[in-house]
Chain A
Amino acid sequence: MAEMQLNIEIKRYNPEDDDGPHWESYEVPADPLDSALSLLLHVKWHIDGTLSLRKSCAHGICGSDAMQINGENKLACSVLVQDLVDGDGDTITYAPLPSAPVVKDLIIDQSRFFEKYREVKPWLITDGPAPEREREQSPEEHAMIEDATKCIMCGACTHACPSTWADPDYLGPAAMLKAYRYTFDSRDDGAEERLDVVDSPDGLWKCYTIFNCNEACPKDIDITRWLSALKRRAATSQASTKA
C-alpha cells in the first residue's frame, strides 16, 4: 500500500479541442521515494491515457522530461515526492516549461530551443588539417570545459530565465553554455564565429546574472560562472577589435 494519497494538478491543453490551457486534478497514491515522473505515469496509465508528456530514460540522462513542478523547472524523473510535499493530501502541480509554445499538455515545441543550439555552432571548429594523432589537451585545459560538457539539453535553464520570458529570441543559457564549451575548448579556433553570435542584442548581454539557470540545472552546472567567462572573452575581443 502506498503511504499517502496526493492531489496532482496538471496543466492540460489540447489545441484541437481546448480554447486554452486549464488545470485538472487527479488523486494518486504515492510513496515519499517515488519520483515526480512516476506519479504522472500513474495518471497516464491508470486514470487518463490521453495525458501527453515527454519522457524517455527516466534516469536524468536524456533530458526529455523537464517541466515546471510546483512552480520550479525540474526534471520530473530526478525529483522525489518527499522533496515536494509534507504528507498525505498535499498537492503537486505540473505545468509545461514556461515561455514556449505548447504542443499538447506537458509537451512544448522545442524547435526554437534547438535552433538556438545550432546557431552557436556546437562543434569543434579548427584551422588546418587534423594532426595524425589527436590534438593535445592538458588535464587543466580539459577541466575548463568539463562542467559545461555535462549539459543534457533539457531546457530547464533557458525556460527558467526571465530574459527568455521577456524575449523569445534570446539565445538563453543552454545555447550560450554550448558556446562557452566550444569557445573555451583549447583545441578550438572558432571563437570569433561563435562570439559573433553570442555578442549580440539577443545574446550574452541579456544575461543579468539572476542565477535562475543555476538553480534549475538538474546537473548542477555552474552556468552563470561560465557565461560570465564568455562575457569577459567577448568584452576583451570587442576591445581588441576597436583598438
Chain B
Amino acid sequence: MADDLFTPTITPTAYAGPRRPPWRPGSLIYPAILGGALAGTTLALINAGRLRLPARDTLAIAGAGLVALAARVLVTTMLLDGRVSGPGRVVGALCGALAWTVANLLQKGRFRSYEMRGGEPTSLVKAGIAATLGLGLVEGLIIVLAGGLR
C-alpha cells in the first residue's frame, strides 16, 4: 500500500505522559491579570515544558512576555510617573492579558490533545497565588528601579 497516510508516524517515546501534568492554559489568565506579564509568562513557560511545546512556540511565548513586560514598564514610568496603583494596575492587567493571549493561542491545541489522550490538568491554585504575589512584587520592583533610572 503506497500511501503516505498509512505510514506510521507515532513513536513510542514521543507521547509518553508528561513528567508533571500541565495547567489548563485558559486558567493562566488569572495570574497574568492579577500578577502581571512576568507572572503569566513564567507560568506559561513552565506549562510549555509540561506540554512539550516546540521550541519555536516556547520562544514566541517568551518574546510576547518580554514585550508585554517592557510595555508595562515603559507606560508606567513614562506616562504614569511610576505609579502602579489605579490606572497603573489596569495597564499591568492589560499587559498580562496580552502575554496570556499569545500563550493561550499556542498552548490550547496541545492541551486539548493531551486531554483527548485522557490527561487531566493539575491545579493552578498554589502555583498561581505564589506567582501572582511573588512575581507581581518583582514586576513592581522592576518598575520602581526603571523609574529610578529615568
**A and B from one complex:** no
Query: Which B residues have a C-beta under 8 Å from some C-beta of A?
Result: none
